[in-house]
């Protein structure tokens, strides 16, 4: 029986994790729940799962993690506010099922230094797929990591045609049901750029050996190419409960958690090159990742401001990544990487982005 804390329990990842746990009471028990602000739903979840320890907000989530004994902490918080809870989970020695990619991306070397080998288990479908495929060979046998991208709602469109995209159109993702920020990031491919940085940090593969291919069907979730020319792909219908279940009980698989592909039916899977002119966020993220330090924190913070401004009608769709790039270009890192320097870099990036947005 694995004792589980779920951070962000009222969000998409958290609610699906509770579905997995409810269906497997012999494998999991919930010992802590936290949410950002939805106190009513949090209380209902706590009553349903008989959980005494709950918290609202990132700071209280961090305190809860430090005070409750658990075997696994699922971090499903959205945004870089998840960094503190991530570090707290690692300090306890619990397995960290990480859906909050921003905490690893922003925290970078701090998070890696705090983590024991194998302590972080990725929950993003792409990184879960990579982790599964990497079990087919040794680290020295890996040639490339290939992350798949659905292409979002604007696949195949030119950069010029994206100038008049509306917030509603940006939220119309063809495959996944996600929150406002993540869905918008998927449409701009900022999310895929963040996933490249995450893949580098998780698996220690250089950026020049991490690539993206557009796969609209979202059935193959990512692939690993090995030095002998073999490519191992992980395929399943798009359902986050599968990678969530692996995060909760890695490396064990939970029977019946997902519906397998129907191999008696015809399937057509396609792959397309990424259009870096229409979607420059991936190349920008690689550059940010290679710079390291506080650059990823600046990239992420500026993007959050730009996404909010786009949905408020303050800037256009193409201005999102353009604003992020201008803030990144203006950044001058200063000093050692600490939680304080990361927080300061984020504040600077948000202020810099806000100034650019106000001048637009």
pLDDT tens across the length of the chain (360 residues) = 999 999 999 999 999 999 999 999 999 999 999 999 999 999 999 999 999 999 999 999 999 999 999 999 999 998 889 999 999 999 999 999 999 999 999 999 999 999 999 999 999 999 999 999 999 999 999 999 999 999 889 999 999 999 999 999 999 876 666 678 888 999 999 999 999 999 999 999 999 999 999 999 999 999 999 999 999 999 999 999 999 999 999 999 999 999 999 999 999 999 999 999 999 999 999 999 999 999 999 999 999 999 999 999 999 999 999 999 999 999 999 888 999 999 999 999 999 999 999 998
CB-based contact 284:53 (threshold 8 Å):
no
pLDDT the model gives residue 178: 64
CATH tag for 293-360 (out of 1.20.150.20, 2.60.40.10, 3.30.10.20, 1.10.1740.10): 1.10.1740.10
Query: What is the rounded CA–CA span in Å between residue 105 and residue 199?
Result: 9
State how far the Cα of 147 lies from the Cα of 127, in Å rounded to an integer. Answer: 8
CATH no. of 2-122+240-249: 3.40.50.720
What is residue 215's predicted lDDT score, i.e. its pLDDT? 96
Q: What pLDDT score was predicted for residue 360?
A: 83
Q: Residue holding tokens 């580098």?
A: 200
Separation CA 269–CA 153 (nearest Å): 17
- The secondary structure of residue 141, as a DSSP letter, is G
Cα(17)–Cα(184) distance, integer angstroms = 23
CA 87 to chain centre: 16
What does the pLDDT look like over 16-33, one tens digit per residue?
999 999 999 999 999 999
CB 223: neighbour CB atoms within 10 A? 23
Domain boundaries, the chain: 2-122+240-249, 124-235+262-284, 293-360
Contact 4, 248 (CB under 8 A): yes
- What DSSP string runs through 239-262? -THHHHHHHHHTTS--TTSSPPP-
Q: What is the reported pTM?
A: 0.94
């Amino acid at each position: 029986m694995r004792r589980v804390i779920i951070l962000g329990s009222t969000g998409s990842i958290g609610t699906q994790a509770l579905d997995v746990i409810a269906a497997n009471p012999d494998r999991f028990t919930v010992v802590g729940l936290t949410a950002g602000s939805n106190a009513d739903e949090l209380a209902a979840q706590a009553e349903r799962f008989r959980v005494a320890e709950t918290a609202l907000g990132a700071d209280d989530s961090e305190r809860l993690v430090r005070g409750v004994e658990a075997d696994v902490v699922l971090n499903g918080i959205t945004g870089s506010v998840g960094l503190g809870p991530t570090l707290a989970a690692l300090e306890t020695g619990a397995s960290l099922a990480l859906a909050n990619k921003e905490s690893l991306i922003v925290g970078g070397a701090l998070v890696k230094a705090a983590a024991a080998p194998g302590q972080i288990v990725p929950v993003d479908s792409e990184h879960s797929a990579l982790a599964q495929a990497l079990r087919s060979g040794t680290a020295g046998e890996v040639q490339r990591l290939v992350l798949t991208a659905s292409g979002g709602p604007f696949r195949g469109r030119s950069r010029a045609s994206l100038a008049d995209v509306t917030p509603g159109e940006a939220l119309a993702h063809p495959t996944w049901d996600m929150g406002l920020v993540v869905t918008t990031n998927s449409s701009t491919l900022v999310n895929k750029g963040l996933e490249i940085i995450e893949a580098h940090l998780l698996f220690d593969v250089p950026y020049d050996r991490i690539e993206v291919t557009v796969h609209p069907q979202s059935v193959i979730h990512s692939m690993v190419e090995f030095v002998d020319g073999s490519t191992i792909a992980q395929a399943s219908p798009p359902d986050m409960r599968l990678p969530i279940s692996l995060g909760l009980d890695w490396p064990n698989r939970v029977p019946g958690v997902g519906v397998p592909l129907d191999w008696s039916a015809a399937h057509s899977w396609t792959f397309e090159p990424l259009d870096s002119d229409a979607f420059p966020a991936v190349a920008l993220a690689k550059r940010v990742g290679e710079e390291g330090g506080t650059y990823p924190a600046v990239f992420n913070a500026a993007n959050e401001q730009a996404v909010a401004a786009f949905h408020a009608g303050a800037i256009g769709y193409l201005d999102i990544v353009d604003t992020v790039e201008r803030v990144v270009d203006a950044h001058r890192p200063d000093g050692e990487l600490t939680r304080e320097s990361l927080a300061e870099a984020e504040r600077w990036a948000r202020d810099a982005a806000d100034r650019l947005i106000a001048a637009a």
